[in-house]
Chain A
Amino acid sequence: MTNGDGLDEELDFHIARLVDDLRAEGMEEEEAHLEAARRFGDIAAVRRACRRAESTGQGRGGMGMLVDWITRDARFALRQVARRPLTAGLAVVTLAVGVAATTVVHTVVDAVVLHPVPFDDPEGLTAVVQVTPQGRAFSVSAPNFVDFAERQRSFSGMAARRWANHTLTGSGSAETVQGMRASHALFAVAGVDVVLGRTFRPEEDTPGGSTDVLVLSDGAWERRYGRDPGVLGATVVLDGRVRTVIGVVASDHAWPAAELFTPLVADRDGERDNQLFEVMARLGDGVTVEEARSDIVAIAADLAAMYPDSNDGWGAEVMRLEERMVGPGTERLGRFLLAAVGLLLLMACVSVSNLQVVRLTGRLREITLRAALGAGRIRLAVQLVVESLMIAVVGGAAGVAAAYLTLPLVQRVGPADLERLSQASVNGTVLAVAVAAAVFAALVSGVAPAWFLLRREEIQRPGRSARGVSDEGRAVRGALVAAQFALALLVVAAAGLVSRSLIELQRVDLGFEPDGVLAFSVRLPDGAFGREERTDFIRRLLAELEGQADVLDAGASQAVPFASFRPSNFLAASAREPERQQDFLPVSWRAIEGDYFAAAGIRVLSGRPLRPSDYDPGGPPFGVVLDRTAASMLFPDGSDPIGQSVTWFMPGGMKLPVVGVVEAARDEFVDGLPRPRVYVPFAFAPWEEPGILVRTRGNAAALTPVVRSVVAGLDEDVPVIDPAPLERNFSRTVAWPRFTALALLSFGVLCLLLAALGIYGVAAFGVERRRGEIGVRMALGAQPGEVVRLVLRESLRLALVGVGVGLALALPLGRMLEGLLYSVSPSDPVVLLGGALLLLGVALVSVWIPAVRAVRTDPTETLSA
């Protein structure tokens, strides 16, 4: 073998023989060495020349040869890259942007959509829900939970939980802490470890047991107690009750918002029709979701037979926990975002490919020479792959670094209520995907250049003269530019559709007016307030608030607009009251007080708003107000509901006179028709944590200190919870659509830039190549307009073809978006045509510069050149 091995030995032998012969001719040894060295000249240069001579030979096999090639080719590639820093830099940056976008989007979607369950071994975790007679998944009531937990044979553990705000007193002013009520099995089921002490015992969540215990989250332990192990046994006054700290759990990953846990006491004799528990359960070994489902469904059927008053028509369902946590809309938008970022990555690959062909065209002379010197085609291809790999490695590394830097930024501007977003981190899977993306990019971006190169005749058969040197390069680049425009159209169209949907969503007539309203809650815990005291406190609070400067109206409701909490019940027109619950109309209900309609900006259509006198605990049935939807559904014959009565579903029934009808308010979900709604007096359902709306003349946020002082003036142990402009609650509901739209818009801009760069390159190269021809035409009297048209026509044809292909693909791909868009069709002609025109405009502008430069060409200069 004549590879580099042994070259030194071969040359040493020669020198030694030379010295021997010179000495034989009578030279002194030292003189002979000098003479030999002189004859050899620069021995390093000889060595290099030998290696070069070898490498231009026909390819021979062997791994050693290949490794040798690659190390040498890497050095060669580096020199090539350094010689054309602009195109190489552009390629690296393009790829880095593609990889960074892929990594960030994948990280976010992975956390929010693909792996949303922040618990160990999420595969075995399920949610157990009750199903309303109308087929909607619902929470579980305490007695039903007890029965499910006792009778089930499918789960290794079943636990219930409920979010709860607590008032912490005893250390200065009252403070609200967010906590969770949890049944004793919750920590084991979720796989949350105990850091210190212990968690709840079964008797601690049983009625009558020693339930005054408390478990801290490790975050709260650190913030509030400096990780002092002496916290065990300490007492805390929570909602006026003294509780003992028994343990600390590592729950911050699972439930970052919960500072502490108290036992969720499940009373078998409680209200079976009051569904308040979120139930999660871990499947037993080898049990499938389907088996667990039939187990639970059978129990639910039993319960419906045993307790028809509360359970008639109600079923149950077992689903994977992530299905319960991520709505189908969120999931599909997330997957769509992944698909879009895939397109962006593909776009980046095509652009890098294009840049590589540019670089090759410039190096054609050198490459042809190397081919003529005997460099095999495979060898040249290896070299190209090495170059692409280098760009991919550098671009990929830069992309991952950029992803690390961008992620916190995305988390800051991203939807804050997506709890999991804040926990998103670049993990192993995500990194593997980034690496795969970079390798994919290297391969894809290397295909077109390699094809271009290997097809060339003078390289296939060295020695043939190069003809049509630039034509083939142009054909390949033309195809790449058309592909760029097709991809760009897809991404731009997607961005347009999602953005239009978002705009429509924000223009929806909500039926109420969130501007200028401050929303907050107060906590009036059971221990400190009875039902009447609670109503009394709210009435006094609303009166005080309405007395403040700039306050127009104030009202209360058990749930503020867009709260995660959406009370439901069942209603029927008393005149046509059905026998069974499943034939009642499921409604959303609110218990309100004060000038709630005025404060929320809900128009009263007929009749009157509720008055405090409407509810008298011992007196006649209270009045209710229906919204437009409920009125039309309960009284489909169009008769005036006012004066008629409706039946509120509860054991024994309850007939209530309708006193007014108001506009329907979309205060639960923005993107769907509002559920029918009934408003009842607050005093009927004076819940622990009512929300207050205050409408002001001025800036809603500026009212916060006023509100705090008014509440403290009434009772300094009552905390003001989450005071914020109502507008913010609204924007939170469109947070995920907005995040998707923002991401797609930035992808769209990037794609436009890349497409512009691509077509500019082709046009500029075309003008350069035809400079002579253009000069002749100009010299022969061609009008500048004709020349511009000539240049434009050629390049714009590519853009047109690309946009055409893109449009053809956009229609089938748009189906992915069906059901995700609000009042915009996936084949919306305005968006598609707008996107097409935008791209053609970008193409026109990009091509205009080289075209004008062509016209300015001085004929004499080009002709004499």
Chain B
Amino acid sequence: MSELDLVRGTLDVLILKSLSGGSLHGYGVARWIKDASGDALLVEEGALYPALHRLAARGWVEADWGLSENNRRAKFYSLTPLGRTQLASEASSWDSYVAAVGRVLRTDPAS
């Protein structure tokens, strides 16, 4: 299992993305990121929860208590309209960042 360290600052956008399909609890967010990255990205719990709380404090996500798949009380996070805007802007800047880095990597330095 190859696990990549998450580039700092990308965790937020991944969380926002994970919630774009509907509300999830924290474990669900971690699970979704792991699955969606093909097991390449493993979110550390020590980083996940502070990030969730930070996003909530900024008003990008909101939290609500609900019942999980196995009927236990869990805290579900969902995107706010503000969070949806934020996701869009971060996703596009991420794309241009990746594109830029890609261009650089494909260019041979003149020797």
Contact = CB atoms under 8 A, between A and B. Distances in A.
Given A53-B57, A57-B54, A13 B45 contact: no
B50 A52 contact: yes
Contacts of B41: none
B57 A46 contact: no
A13 B58 contact: no
A45 B62 CA distance: 23
A54 to B, nearest CB: 5
Interface in A1-34: 1-2, 6, 9-11, 13-14, 16-18, 20
B53 A50 contact: yes
A713 B3 CA distance: 116
Interface size of A as a range: 20 to 34
28 contacts: A2-B56, A6-B65, A9-B73, A9-B75, A10-B74, A11-B49, A13-B25, A13-B74, A14-B27, A14-B49, A16-B72, A17-B68, A20-B70, A41-B45, A45-B46, A49-B46, A49-B49, A50-B49, A52-B50, A53-B50, A53-B51, A53-B53, A53-B54, A54-B56, A55-B57, A58-B57, A58-B58, A374-B58
Nearest to B70: A20
B44 A57 contact: no
Contacts of B44: 39, 41
Nearest to B61: A2
A46 B56 contact: no
Interface string A41-80: 1100110011111111110000000000000000000000
A40 interface: yes
A2 B57 contact: yes
A561 B45 CA distance: 92
A58 B59 contact: yes
A611 B33 CA distance: 122
Give me the 10 closest cross-chain CB pairs, A-B, nearest first. Answer: A57-B57, A53-B54, A2-B56, A49-B50, A53-B53, A17-B27, A53-B50, A50-B53, A10-B75, A13-B74
Interface string B3-33: 0000000000000000000000111001000
Nearest to B69: A17
A41 B73 contact: no
A62 to B, nearest CB: 13
Contacts of A54: 53-54, 56-57
B70 to A, nearest CB: 8
Given A2-B62, A6-B75, A57-B54, 11 more contacts: A2-B57, A10-B25, A10-B26, A10-B49, A13-B72, A18-B27, A39-B44, A50-B52, A53-B57, A56-B54, A58-B59
B101 to A, nearest CB: 25
Contacts of B26: 10, 13-14
B63 interface: yes
Interface of A: 1-2, 6, 9-11, 13-14, 16-18, 20, 39-42, 45-46, 49-58, 374
Nearest to A373: B54
Interface in B49-108: 49-54, 56-59, 62-63, 65, 68, 70, 72-75
A53 B54 CA distance: 5
Given A2-B63, A14-B26, A49-B49, A56 B57 contact: yes
A45 B27 CA distance: 18
Nearest to B56: A2
Contacts of A46: 45-46, 49-50
Contacts of A13: 25-27, 68, 72-75
Nearest to B54: A53
A11 B26 CA distance: 9
A40 B47 CA distance: 9
A140 B73 CA distance: 90
A55 B26 CA distance: 20
A64 to B, nearest CB: 15
Contacts of A20: 70
Contacts of A42: 46
Name which of A1, A42, A53, A55 has the most chain B CB atoms within 10 A of its CB: A53
Given A9-B73, A10-B74, A13-B75, A41 B54 contact: no
B46 to A, nearest CB: 5
Nearest to A51: B53
Contacts of B58: 57-58, 374
Contacts of B65: 6
Contacts of A40: 45-46
Nearest to B30: A14
- Count chain A CB atoms within 10 A of each CB in B30, B46, B63, B73 and give the residue with the most: B46
